[in-house]
Structure formats: C-alpha cells, structure tokens
Amino acid sequence: MTVMKSPNMFLPFTGRFSRLQVKLFSYFAVSLLAILLIATAIESVVLNQLLTLPTSTQEHLQKLANEAKALLEKNDIEGLAKWEEQQDFTLYILDKNQNTVSHREMHPHFVFKLQYMRQLQQPMGDRVRKPLIGIPLFDSFNSDSPLTLVVQLNADLHPAQQLSSSLWLIRTLVGITVLFLFSSLLGRYLIRPLTHLQTGTKALAGGALTTRIAHHFSVKEPEFYHLATEFDHMAEQLQNSMQNQERLLRDVSHELRTPLARQEIALHLLEKQATAQQMPLISRFKDQNEQMAKLIDSILNFSRLNNANISLNPSPSSISSLRDRILRDIEFEAGDKQTINWTEPGEDIPLYTDTSYLISAIENVLRNALKYAGRECHIEVSCLALDETLKLEFQDDGPGISEEELITLFNPFTRMDEARHSSQGGYGLGLAIVKQSIWLLGGEVSARNSKDGGLCISMNLPLKLKSPLPV
C-alpha cells in the first residue's frame, strides 16, 4: 500500500520559507557560537583568579612559615622534625639542594613534584590535586643558602574543588544573557508582523471589512509579505461577499414586497365588493399576507444583524426614557388581563449606546413573553447598574420551558412548542434577533427557569458602548 505524503510535511530549502529558515538558523547558530566564545573568553580571564588560594589559606600557610622560622632561630632541629610531623599538611624545610633540614625522608612522588612547585600567590592550576607550595625562609645556619618551606596542599583546600560550579555558573549566566539578547532580536523580527496580523484580524472580525495589512510589510520579508497579501485577498473576498449579500437582501426584499403590496391592494378592492359569505375568506387571505410580510421583515432584520459590516450609532440616553417609549408601545399590544411592571432603581441610569438595537431587543423579549406566557400573564422587569454594566431581567409567570430547550432558545427558527407557536404566528426569530442585537452592543443574553415558575431572560451590556478598535 502506497503511503501518501502531505505536500506541507516538509518545507523545501529553496521554497517560499527558505529565507525564514536561513534567518532562524542564523539566529540560533550565532547565539550558540556567541555563548561558546564569550564563555570561553570569560573563563580564560577569571580562571587564574579562581585557581588562586583564598586569603584565609594563604594566611594559614604563612603562619606555618613563621612557626618554622621561630624553630630555625632556636636551631631546634629535633623540635623542627616533630613540628613537621604534627602538621595537617605534608611539609618539609628544604635547602637550595632540595635536601631536608630536619633529615626526614621525602616520598619519591613528593620529590618528583618539586619541579612543579608554585609560589604562595600563584594560581594552583587544575591538573595536580595536591600541588606543592614554596614559601622562602631565611637560613639560620648559612645565610648564603636560603631555605624554603615546601607544603603539599591538601586536596580539599585546592581552589579547583569549587572551579566546576563556578565555571558552570559563568556558562549559565552567559547563556541566559546571550539567549535573552538574541531572543529579543528574534522576537522583534517575528512579533512585529504578527502584531500587525493580530490587529488586522481583530479589526476584520469586528466588521471593518476595509482592513488591509500588506502595506505594513516589506518585500524583503517574503514569508510575512506573502501572508499579508493572502490576508488582504481574503478580506477583499469577504468584503465582496458581504456586499453581494446586502445587494441580494435588498433585491429579495424588493421582489417579495412588491407582489405582497399588490396582493394587499387587490384584497382591499375585493373587500369592498365582497359579500358576507366571502369576507371570512378575504380576512384569512389578509392575515396570511400580513404574516408573510412579518416573516420577510424578521428574516431581513436577522440577516442585517448578522452582517459583519454593520455600523452602530451610539448616543446619550437613559433607562427612564427607554422605559416610557417601550411601554407606550408594548402595553398597547398587551391583552386586557396581561400586565407589565417595570421596576427602576431610585436614580435614573444614564446610557451611551445604540438605543435602536436595545429597544428592539427589549421589545422582542416583551412581545415573546406576552405571546407565550399566557393570556393572564404578569411580566416583571428590573434593571440595575453595577460596575459599568447594565443588567436587565424579564421575569414572566408563564409555564417556562424545559432545561433541554434552554440550550437552543436563542438559535434562529427555534420553536419550543410547534403547535402553540404556529397558532400564535411565531417564526422562531425573535429571541435570535435579541441575542444578536445585544451582542452588537457588547453584551450577552441568557435565559433560565425561575424557581417560582416562568421564564427569566437576563441582559448584561456595558453602560457605555466601546468604540471599535482602530485599524
């Protein structure tokens, strides 16, 4: 069986992204080389300092040299031999011929290392675990023959014991510093175009279909320039598609409304000439014609709200003014036994939003409650301003809906009770229009069943409509 390989599985070196590949490789190669060179240079500079005996050890060895000088001044050779044996170090006092003054025998390996003997202030090196250190002394027997205190340094006092951790600390700090610098440079190279792309994407998603970003990029950056031109092409196609959709909606609206208007005129003329037996049939035709006109209005309104290129016109307003305007119309539509009680807080709540969409959303919720909560329903409306957010709640005392139906309540063409909705003339678009209107105003809408029965719909939206993001 032949395995098909995706053409995008491997990026060719000479393909579209070859320049980006080369730049990324160069950044990482240069950063790695810089880490090695800088770490090596720093180690060579500080290595001798790291391998020099600490001051405390030098002072201790110098103290031993002073004790040896005191014994030599007393010419106490036997005491000198005992003193040498009692020390924590292996040490001898040697003359210029490297013979011991105390006549103690030296180990052959000690004799071999005398040729690599170091001074007290010299770096100890990192090859010999127990180096020999020579400290000059005066000769109480013969001033022409200088003496030297030779001390074999214990392994645990060798500076090289801490060398490994010090070198790794240097390498780590150098690595972090170099990587930070090169990451900053690489980040500026990558993040800047990605920021332009992110800003353009947000603007396009917010409805600014004229957004274009290719002018932010240079042809010297072919991988990003190509991506930007593809984005502009996508935005142009989207803009053309939305314009075609708007044109189609206008044409459909005109083509559907024209025959409906003619039918309405014809029914009006027939109504004047119809007999009593024909009037019920004409009334039925008029109702059907009116329902068709409402359905067309609902579909066009919902389609317009889903248009990404829709523009908002915010203006100052207040809850009290909206309340009076909405109740004046809705209470006229309510039945004789249907009531609406809109409770307001003590102080009026100022708003800066597109009131046309907010009024449309509230009216749709109230009409939905009047239509389906029952002929004797009571609707309670409350509003509250909290943390720059307006919260509206619409509580009815109807039968409510099931928990499963709450999930799809705001979907278009959703009808919970087909028989009841059909008899009431509903098309399942009212609450979908509510959701889209509140979303355009920067808010959200939700529904839940009340504990005391009935459906409660909540709206949360900002008191001040935020301005669109600049492109």
Domain layout of the chain by residue ranges: 18-50+164-204, 55-152, 222-305, 315-462
Fold of 55-152: Beta-Lactamase (3.30.450)
pLDDT of amino acid 119: 85
The CATH number that domain 315-462 falls under is 3.30.565.10
pLDDT of amino acid 302: 66
Band of residue 5 on the pLDDT scale cut at 50, 70, 90: very low
Count how many Cα atoms sit within 13 Å of the Cα of residue 177 in the half-sphere of its side chain. Answer: 11
pLDDT of amino acid 428: 66
Band of residue 445 on the pLDDT scale cut at 50, 70, 90: very high
d(CA 170, CA 40): 10
- Identity at 15, one-letter amino acid code: G
Kindly state the tokens that stand for 197: 């792309």
d(CA 408, CA 432): 10
- Per-residue pLDDT of 133-168, as tens digits, reads 888 886 544 556 688 888 888 887 777 766 667 777
Band of residue 444 on the pLDDT scale cut at 50, 70, 90: very high
- The total of other beta-carbon atoms located within 10 Å of residue 371's CB is 18
Tell me the Ramachandran region of residue 98: left when phi exceeds 0, alpha when psi lies from -120 to 50, beta otherwise.
Answer: left
Model pTM?
Answer: 0.48
d(CA 417, CA 30): 70
> Can you tell me whether residue 167 is helix, strand or coil?
helix
Contact assessment for residue 89 and residue 158, using Cβ atoms and an 8 Å cutoff: no
Contact assessment for residue 125 and residue 51, using Cβ atoms and an 8 Å cutoff: yes
Residue 295 has pLDDT above 70, yes or no: no
- Three-state helix/strand/coil letters over 47-91: HHHHCECCHHHHHHHHHHHHHHHHHHHCCCHHHHHHHHHHCCCEE
pLDDT of amino acid 45: 73
- Per-residue pLDDT of 155-214, as tens digits, reads 877 777 666 677 778 778 888 888 888 878 777 777 788 888 888 888 887 777 788 888
d(CA 367, CA 433): 13
pLDDT of amino acid 456: 92
- Per-residue pLDDT of 307-317, as tens digits, reads 655 677 888 99
pLDDT of amino acid 305: 66
Q: How far is CA 129 from CA 150, 158, 159, 313, in A?
A: 16, 7, 10, 84
Please choose, from the candidates 201, 134, 216, 182, the residue with its C-alpha nearest in 3D space to the C-alpha of residue 29: 182
251-274: average pLDDT: 77
pLDDT of amino acid 213: 87
Residue 1 has pLDDT above 60, yes or no: no
pLDDT of amino acid 306: 63
Band of residue 379 on the pLDDT scale cut at 50, 70, 90: very high
34-44: average pLDDT: 80
The more confidently predicted of residues 110 and 274 is: 110
d(CA 192, CA 181): 16
Asked if the domains at 55-152 and 315-462 fall in one CATH topology, the answer is no
In DSSP terms, which residues pair with 59 in a beta bridge? Answer: none
Question: Which of 430-448 are b and which e, b meaning 16 or more Cβ less than 10 Å from the residue's Cβ?
Answer: bbbbbbbbbbbbebebebe
Q: What is the DSSP string of 365-429?
A: HHHHHHHHS-TT-EEEEEEEEETTEEEEEEEE-S----HHHHHTTTSTT--SSHHHHHHHT--S-
The more confidently predicted of residues 10 and 49 is: 49
- Per-residue pLDDT of 415-442, as tens digits, reads 655 434 444 445 567 788 888 888 888 8
